[in-house]
Amino acid sequence: MEDLDTASPAAKGSSKTMPLVALVVLTLLAGGGGWLVGGVLAPKPLSVEEAKIVEQAKAAVAHKKAKEAGEGGEESSKKDEGLPRIATEANGVVQLDAITTNLAYPTENWIRLEVALLFKGTPDVAMAEQIHQDIAAYMKTVSLQQIQGPRGFQYLKDDIEERVDLRSEGRVTNVIFRTFVIQ
């Protein structure tokens, strides 16, 4: 019995230190893992040659913007701020005017839709206007129940793409939905 009493305090002491040792080991593992992942993911510093190339590119862009602002005045410099517009006829993309109309049912709900058309080859602005009118007329026949949820939106998108394909006779390769709001 004496052996059991003397072993008991030693077991109690080791049971208190085990969680502390495990915590220290886990902390060291987590710190080492973080350091390792940080070293792998962190970008390497640029070499002197790469830094010079980046600075030259920045200077060329700044010079180009200054040149364009000098030719077009302040109005063109305001247009150039921010991201460049991708919807240009030079790219074969025609952005249609926003379509705002009420739904067939319930009539108090309104829908706003902005789309862009990607043409195969040079864009036809007259055809784009016809497509715009066709989409606007179609949106007046749609009910709220038809376009609710992701599946309803997908059906609407498929219907509009089918109408555009028929109207353009295959000249429009893609319909890009820019905004879609129901109020």
pLDDT tens readout for residues 106-133: 989 999 999 999 998 888 889 999 999 9
How many angstroms separate the CA atoms of 94 and 132, rounded? 11
pTM over 0.85: no
Q: For residue 66, what is the enclosing H or E element?
A: helix 48-80
Over residues 58-74, the pLDDT tens digits come to 777 777 667 666 654 44
Bridge partners (DSSP) listed for residue 102: 110
> What 3-state class would DSSP assign to 143?
strand
Mean pLDDT of the region 72-80: 47
Q: At 104, list the tokens.
A: 């067939």
Relative orientation angle of helices 125-139 and 149-168, to the nearest 10 degrees:
140
CB 135 within 8 A of CB 146: no
pLDDT tops 50 at residue 138:
yes
How many angstroms separate the CA atoms of 40 and 44, rounded? 9
How many angstroms separate the CA atoms of 37 and 29, rounded? 12
